[in-house]
Amino acid sequence: MPQLFHRSTNTLARLSIVLGILLAGGLLWLLLQANRTPFVTQAFMARQQPVQFSHKHHVGDDGIDCRYCHTTVENTASAGMPATKTCMNCHSQLFANSPYLEIVRESWRSGQPIKWTKVHDLPDFAYFNHSIHVNKGVGCSTCHGRVDLMPSMWNVASLQMEWCLACHRNPEQFIRPKNKITEMEWPPVEPSPAEFPNGWNQAVDGPKLVKEYKLQPTDVLTSCSTCHR
Amino acid sequence: MLRARIKNAGLAACLLFGVFGVSACRQDMHDNPKYKPYRDGSIREIPEGTYSRGSIALNPRAPKVTQAGTGQNTPPAQMTPATSPAAGQDPSGAPAPVAIPVGEDGFPFKVTREILDRGQTRYEISCLPCHGKLGDGNGMIVMRGFRRASSYHQDRLIKAPTSYFYDVITNGFGAMASYSDQLTPEDRWKVIAYIRALQLSQTLNYSELAEIDRKGVDEADRKIKEKAGSPSTSHTAKVQTAVKPSGGHSN
């Protein structure tokens, strides 16, 4: 019986083994990368809400502090969603007849809360507490981005574990003074000389704050049970 | 080669299947069938007559606590002037309501720098939108068309007792809604302390200021002049800056 394959096919066979491994590896890499894209994480995707509420207007234009509405951010796990009454503090008079706010007024009349769409929906197997972050110098915009520039809300973070760990491994790269928590622009472009005589340098001032605020060492911050409890 | 190709395709299919298989379980783990705050994205109003733990001691409208420890709701009585030293003592022998311990300055605690700082933070969160950074009633919300907020620097409010401010924060006044949901009783007193500081800041003469505050005023003054580009005038009347000229927000 003559040989079925020519000798050159030996090379082709070896090559196809190598290529096969490369292809499988590449495919795996591609899938992992795809899993990080906004297509999967839904980052940068503005959510539709029952009311056309604009953070850009309320935070950016009006300069209202985050904590006016998210009152419990410093004390509890959840930052807190405002009750309809909080809306009515101002909108009893401002835009009081606007059709855009009819849902708010309807909620005020009936006592039925508005059902907002959650934008940052962490998986239930991850424990997260706003208050500990805010009280240890992690600012709002560090995770939520420039909310004062977002007409509709979207998340800028993937909320994936590697994103959490990026900070838990190196908190000194993200920490800021506690009284600057709700500052949207951070690090400051023009630090006030009264507060920061030497300006703000994350590489120098970050580690200082980590010490001052007594952050847990990174092996505790990255321990499984810190977040999965 | 063909066989290798089939193998590759099989491997890819396995991988794809694996990934889809994993993502199929994904949502079950993400959304456990358990209760969490704001699970359906909404909030309830706080039911009337509800007080959070620890807020009673500083709340003149909190339900009376009897000796036996049974609580009962009392209808909102006339506001007891917090400055009255006899507040809380009932001569009839009935169970006394929890008294607010008040000092002579009308505050239930000694006003310290920390308390003023906390008061300032809370003021700038909850009050500044309408009352403005200086407390003159020129906040951003007023500029947007809300009914003008009271200036703290009018005679009526300079003379008003601290308990009056507490009452207004708790129950609202005119167009102003109650802020009892947003400010804890303790924070309300701290905000009042800061309001007192604001009032002081607008009536002090430059010569009465401490050295460090004078520097702050000079600095602020210099900046204003730089912006306006006009020649300077001497400090005569009232200081035009709040206690701290620098801060997170401007209005």
B238, B199 in Cβ contact below 8 A? no
How crowded is residue B77: how many other Cβ atoms within 10 Å of its Cβ? 10
What is the average per-residue pLDDT within A186-195? 84
A175-203: average pLDDT? 89
Question: What is the ipTM for the molecules in this complex?
Answer: 0.86
Distance from the Cα of residue B70 to its chain's centroid: 31
Residue A38: is the preceding peptide bond cis (ω within 30°)? no
Q: How far is A55 from chain B (nearest CA, A)?
A: 15
B59 lies in a domain?
no
| Domain assignment of residue A102, given as a range | 82-115
Verify that A172 and A135 share a domain, yes or no: yes
d(CA B105, CA B197): 13
Does B121 map to a domain?
yes
A127 and A66 assigned to the same domain: yes
Domain-embedded: residue A92: yes
Residues A202 and A173 in one domain: yes
Are A82 and A71 within 8 A, CB to CB?
A: yes
Decide: A94 and B145 in contact? Cβ < 8 Å: yes
Q: Which residue has the higher pLDDT, B250 or B36?
A: B36
Considering the domain boundaries, does residue A188 fall inside one? yes
Q: Are A75 and A135 members of one domain?
A: yes
Which pLDDT score is estimated for B251? Answer: 36
In a domain, A195, yes or no: yes
Q: Per the domain annotation, does B8 fall within a domain?
A: no
Q: How far is B217 from chain A (nearest CA, A)?
A: 12
Q: Are residues A86 and A76 in the same domain?
A: no
Q: Are A169 and A59 part of one and the same domain? A: yes
Same domain, A137 and A175: yes
Question: Which of A124, A179, A229 is most worth mutating to test chain B (most B CB atoms within 10 A of its CB)?
Answer: A124
- Which of A194-203, B104-113, B230-239 is the least confident region? B230-239
* pLDDT value at residue B216: 82
Q: How many CB pairs under 8 A join A and B?
A: 121
Q: What is the pLDDT of residue A62?
A: 94
| pLDDT given at position B60 | 55
- Residues in B closer than 8 angstroms to A65, CB to CB, are 124-125, 128, 248-249
Q: Report the alpha-carbon distance of residue B105 to residue B82 in Å, rounded.
A: 10
> Residue B204 has what pLDDT?
83
pLDDT band at A68 (very low <50, low <70, confident <90, very high): very high
Give the model's pLDDT for residue A141.
95
Whether residue A159 is found in the same domain as residue A206: yes
Q: How far is B199 from chain A (nearest CA, A)?
A: 23
- A90 and A203: one domain? no
Across the interface, which of A20, A28, A115 has its CB nearest the CB of B8? A20
A88 and A134 together in one domain: no
Domain count, chain A: 2
B248: chain A residues, CB-CB within 8 Å: 65, 179-180, 182-183
Report the number of distinct structural domains present in chain B: 1
Does a structural domain hold residue A182? yes
pLDDT at A28: 96
- CATH code for position B187: 1.10.760.10
- Rounded to an integer, what is the distance from CA A43 to the centroid of its chain? 9
A85 or B8, higher pLDDT: A85
Residues of chain A contacting B141 with CB distance shorter than 8 Å: 62, 90, 94
Task: Determine the number of helices (DSSP H) and then strands (DSSP E) in chain B.
Answer: 8, 2
Same domain flag for A178 and A108 = no
| Predicted local confidence at residue B237, as pLDDT | 41
Mean pLDDT within B41-65: 62
